[in-house]
Structure 1
Amino acid sequence: MTVASPRLTAVGSVSSYAFWGDDGKALAEFYAAALGWTVAQEFPDENGVPTAFLVTGGSTTFVFYTAKEFKAPDWPKDELPFHLDLAFDDVPAAEQRLLELGASKPGHQPGGERWTVLLDPSGQPFCISTGWSEGS
């Protein structure tokens, strides 16, 4: 017996992506500079201390939080629940700029020529490449 179900429609959308680190403001400033975006707003904790920082490029929003007990993953030993993939037209130039902004480059590079892994100032891995296309 087949049970008819009502047609489902989208009822929500992603409003922002949130990240925790030892210094939310430094992370917000790093990613804003990396992407050419702006730190648009700060949010205080219950004591009035800014602890969340909203970064936007218009259509996408990230929120970076200061977490008092944050511990960066021991990558590649620790599996990551998620990470960012950032696309740039000129990956070598982007890598140099990101390193100047405070990223570091670990020795473990599993992407070969397809992508480069960097660590943001909080020690969390992210990848840079020319982006993904169908069939790649």
Structure 2
Amino acid sequence: MTLQWEQLVVDAADPVALGRWWAEALGWVVVADAADEYEIRPAPDRLPGLLFVPVPDGKAVKNRLHLDFRPDDQQAEVARLLALGARPADVGQGDETWVVLADPEGNEFCVLSSRRA
């Protein structure tokens, strides 16, 4: 039996706007741009992707699943993401080596410390 990770589905009030934000944040390409299914991937034929779908209710609590990103330069990446519209998030993490941010709809994600040579 073979199992391949196809995509992570993200509930969104505005799938197109949130999908565009993540495409810009990650430098990914749009592979489906319908209002009810907006999908981005690292490249058109590369998996996994992020699929944004509409939901009527807003986000109410901390995510049970979140993405972690490890940049070359944590401070520069955090500054870039904040300039794109992310905002700092407090999920009770305290003083850690990672930075917790939230996307425009409040979904938390972490920017880990920079890679060491």
Structure 1 residue aligned with 2:59 = 72
What amino acid is the match of 2:53?
A: Y
Structure 2 residue aligned with 1:14 = 5
CA-CA distance at 1:126 after TM superposition: 0.8
The change in CA–CA distance for 1:107 and 1:62 in structure 2 (over 3 A counts) is closer
- TM-score if structure 1 supplies the norm length? 0.72
Alignment length, in residue pairs?
A: 113
- TM-score if structure 2 supplies the norm length? 0.82
The change in CA–CA distance for 1:73 and 1:88 in structure 2 (over 3 A counts) is farther
CA-CA distance at 1:74 after TM superposition: 3.2
The change in CA–CA distance for 1:102 and 1:96 in structure 2 (over 3 A counts) is same
CA contact (8 A) 2:73 2:114 kept: no
CA contact (8 A) 1:39 1:56 kept: yes
Alignment of 1:36 with 2:22, yes or no, is no
CA-CA distance at 1:83 after TM superposition: 0.9
Please tell me whether Structure 1 or Structure 2 has the larger radius of gyration of its CA atoms. 1
Consecutive unaligned residues of structure 2, counting only runs of 5 or more, are: none
CA-CA distance at 1:109 after TM superposition: 5.8
The change in CA–CA distance for 1:66 and 1:129 in structure 2 (over 3 A counts) is same
RMSD: 2.2
CA-CA distance at 1:129 after TM superposition: 1.2
Structure 1 residue aligned with 2:81 = 98
Quick one: percent identity of the two aligned structures? 29
Consecutive unaligned residues of structure 1, counting only runs of 5 or more, are: 1-9, 44-49
What amino acid is the match of 1:26?
A: A
Deviation sequence 1:55-87 (CA, Å, 0-9, x none) = 0103331111121x2321334xxxx32111122
Deviation sequence 1:18-59 (CA, Å, 0-9, x none) = 11111111111111111111222123xxxxxx2211101033
